[in-house]
Amino acid sequence: MDDEVYWLLELAIQPGKRDEFHQLMLDMVDVTQANEPGTLNYEWSISADGKVCHIYERYQDSAAVLTQLSTFGTHFADRFFALLTPTRFVIYGSPSLQVKEALDGFGPVYLAPIGGFHR
């Protein structure tokens, strides 16, 4: 658990873009599941009014995060930011300096572990 990195990303869905958003989500889930074994959780949730999306992602380590960021940048970033506006980004765990530098432009809040357990 010491090397894990996980986050909750909150996004506003652009009005009138629900169908495009849904297709993007399906594409991203499929590619991530097929190609990123270091991704332990990749879960999308949507509000009842269809205006807010949360994405919970958990990675075995910082190397897995960097793999995901490369895939995202190459295949999905343009579509993602055309449909979604980040409103909150909270990162947990022990991200490497390289991960922090890669995510710096998104304005994340970092919370360090101080207790608890993981099964």
Instruction: Read off the tokens for 111.
Output: 């919370």
Q: What is the pTM (predicted TM-score) of this model?
A: 0.94
Residue 1, pLDDT score: 54
What is the pLDDT at residue 77? Answer: 97
Q: Please give the CATH number for the structural domain made up of 5-111.
A: 3.30.70.100
Collect the ranges in the chain with pLDDT lower than 50: none
Give residue 44's pLDDT.
Answer: 98
Q: Is the distance from CB of 98 to CB of 80 less than 8 angstroms?
A: no
- 39-46 and 52-59 as β-strands: parallel, antiparallel, unpaired? antiparallel
Angle at the Cα of 96 (from 53 to 60), degrees rounded to 5?
60
